[in-house]
Every structure is written in C-alpha cells, then in structure tokens.
Structure 1
Amino acid sequence: MPFFKRIFPEKNTRWRLVAIFLLAIFCGLGFFIAREAKMLSYMSDDPQACVNCHVMTSVYNSWMHSSHREWASCNDCHVPHNNIFNQYYFKAKDGLFHASVFTARAEPDVMFMREASEEVVQNNCIRCHVQQVTQVKYDGFIANHYSNRTDRQCWSCHKEVPHGKLHGLTTVRNNIAPIPTDKDGTVVPEWLREKIKNKDKNKNEK
C-alpha cells in the first residue's frame, strides 16, 4: 500500500497531498521572510532595528549624534506608553504601514509623521519633560503658560530635536553607515578606550 494511502485511506487523497505541499511551501517562505526581514528585532527596544530599512539611515545617525541618544531610544518617542497592549498594537500598525510603503518603493524623499504619530510623539515629549512644561512658578506672571506649552506641538519651536536639519533620503549618501552603540550607550572606539584605561592606570600608579 502506498505511503499516502496509508495516511489517508479514503478515496481522492490527491487534493490533501497538494494542500500539505502548498502549506509547507507557504510556511517555509513565511519563516524565510521573517528571518530575512529580522522581524523579531522589531519586538525589542534596540534602535538599530529601525535601520533594517536603509532609508532610515540618516534619521538613525542624526539621533545617534544627539543628546537624546543617552536618554531615549526610538520607541521612547515614537510608541505610546499608556499601556502595553496599545504600545504593541500601534507598533504593529505603524510598522506594517512602513513596510508596505518601503516594499512598494513609494517612500517620499522627505518623510513626515502622520497625525496619529504626531499625537504619540507630542504625548511622549510632555511625558518626559513634564516639569519644564508645567512649572507652576511661571503661571502667576505669564498668561496662559500651561496651555501655550501643551496646546501646540513641541517641534514648532524645537525643530532640530533630535534629528537635526537633515531629513531627506538624499542625505543618506553623505552619512556614514550606522555605528553600533555599545551596551553602556557609548560609541567610544576600542583604541581610545584602551588609551583612557592606560592613562587612568598610570595615574593610579603615581
């Protein structure tokens, strides 16, 4: 008795064989694409996940050379933090939109946030800088102090925070490739780290 007839003893088993074969191909391609696209990296807070797409190189580099690098990753600014379910829902929705645009090669030369993303970033600006925004000492002599600082977008004044002046895709050619940040958040090269260590060692010996 043939192998597949032993598995599917009833008649007309050919469609089952075809279905299993197509399902295996579909699952195999799915796992391959997930691995090549580094899909698991998007579940982390690692900023380098953002440069899986080369079009984000200039944005990544401008952030990496800003003061925000020491305090905030991409997710700290661009993902909501009100609850974990909304965080991953927004991340998935925004990520699928970005992936579809980049796959279709339909990205604009200069990228701007959509309205939902603007609201998230604004809320995160206030979340981190709430003391500067709501300092009560100014409320007494500056009219509408609180509303002036919360009713408008923070980047209407702080236009170069944290990504600087260069936002277009054409600036990528003038950027070096992304430098991996160390676990401690620094980008000090190994030779300089050794030099500092030796200098400190010589100082302690004296």
Structure 2
Amino acid sequence: MKRWVAARWRDFTHAFTGWSGIVLASLLGVVLGVGAYTVHYSGVTGYLSDDPATCANCHAMNEQYDGWLKGSHHGVATCNDCHAPHDDIVYKYVNKADNGIWHSLKFTLQNYPENIQIREHNREITEAACLYCHGDYVDQAVNSSTHKGETMSCIRCHDGVGHKR
C-alpha cells in the first residue's frame, strides 16, 4: 500500500512540472484563494457558533433578531436552541448548512418573499425544541380535559414566544 501511495504521489507531482505545472498550480492557487476569500468575507464560520447576532447578518432577519432581544427567551435561549435539532449533532449542522445555503442563495439573488415562511421540516424541528425544553408543561396541557385527543402545535398558539413583534 505504501508503494502504491508513493507511486500515485509521484504521478501527481510530475503533473506539475514545466509550463503546464505552473499553469495548473496557478489555477489551483486562484481557485483556493478566491474560495478562501469568499468563506472569510461571507462570515460563514460564524454560522458554526450559537451567537444570535450571526443570524441577523442579513437584513431579512433583523426584525426577528430585534424581537428576540426584547422577547421572553432572550436570557435563556439562542436561535439554535429553538431552530436547530437537539438530538443529533450531525443533523444539527446538516440542517444549519441546508438553511444557510437556501438563505444565502435567496439573499444573493434578492428573492426573499416579504413574509418569510418556515419550511415544514424546520417547523418540526422547532416543535421538537419546544418539547425538549418544556416537555413537562406540555404533557400537562395535552393530558388535560381541554385538549384530550387533540393534536397539539406549540407554534400555532405560541407563535410570538421568544420574540416580540
């Protein structure tokens, strides 16, 4: 195996000899440089954190961020606490990447709708986050005679919780 890897490495490095090597290395450098600059300029690494200010990087989320600053969850929860999965770290970052790609695409192409709509799988994640933190209270409400047998939705009744509009 070691010889095979060494042979492949020799083949690879021989491709970068002479003028063709200079051109290939230059193109590779330009692509990597532009990519690194784009990652730095976009602040994409900030999205790996839990800082709510990162979510307000684009103007489309300013109203939600300002509402969160004034809301009931400001001292106890960040955006990720309510809008990212709690049960699987890989799914959390896959979900963040999925949302980030769609957000950046819509922001770049400037085709956000006036009233941003939550996608169904994100609605389910938010519902699960409510239950994660407030499960004991929800169990009491679901088992009460008022809601017996009814399908409950935290978001339906508590749409403004966590942020004031």
Match of 1:49 in 2: 54
Judging by fraction of residues, say which structure has more helix.
2
Within 2, Cα distance between the matches of 1:111 and 1:134?
31
Ranges of 4+ aligned residues in structure 1 off by more than 6 Å: none
Within 1, Cα distance between the matches of 2:75 and 2:40?
30
2:160 matched to 1:160?
yes
**SS at 2:29 equivalent:** helix
- Report how many residues are paired: 152
Match of 2:102 in 1: 97
Within 1, Cα distance between the matches of 2:14 and 2:80?
54
Match of 1:175 in 2: none
Match of 1:29 in 2: 34
Q: CA deviation at 1:143?
A: 5.8
| Cα-to-partner distance string for 1:25-65 (whole Å, 9 max, x where unaligned) | 11111111111111111111111111121221111000111
Bigger Rg, which one: 1
Q: CA deviation at 1:153?
A: 2.1
Q: CA deviation at 1:96?
A: 1.0
Amino acid at match of 1:142: S
| Cα-to-partner distance string for 1:112-144 (whole Å, 9 max, x where unaligned) | 1001100000110111111111128x84x6165
Would the aligned equivalents of 2:72 and 2:162 in 1 still touch at CA under 8 Å? Answer: yes
Q: Decide which of 20, 23, 33 is 1:18's aligned counterpart.
A: 23
Match of 1:134 in 2: 139
**Cα RMSD (Å) of the superposition?**
2.2
Would the aligned equivalents of 1:45 and 1:73 in 2 still touch at CA under 8 Å? Answer: yes
Would the aligned equivalents of 1:51 and 1:60 in 2 still touch at CA under 8 Å? Answer: yes
2:76 matched to 1:76?
no
Within 1, Cα distance between the matches of 2:121 and 2:159?
19
Q: What is the TM-score with the length of structure 2 in the denominator?
A: 0.83
Within 1, Cα distance between the matches of 2:14 and 2:154?
69
Amino acid at match of 1:76: D
Match of 2:129 in 1: 124
Would the aligned equivalents of 2:85 and 2:92 in 1 still touch at CA under 8 Å? Answer: yes
Match of 2:68 in 1: 63
**SS at 1:70 equivalent:** coil
Within 2, Cα distance between the matches of 1:142 and 1:15?
78
Would the aligned equivalents of 2:70 and 2:164 in 1 still touch at CA under 8 Å? Answer: no
Q: CA deviation at 1:95?
A: 1.0
Would the aligned equivalents of 2:50 and 2:78 in 1 still touch at CA under 8 Å? Answer: yes
Would the aligned equivalents of 2:72 and 2:163 in 1 still touch at CA under 8 Å? Answer: no
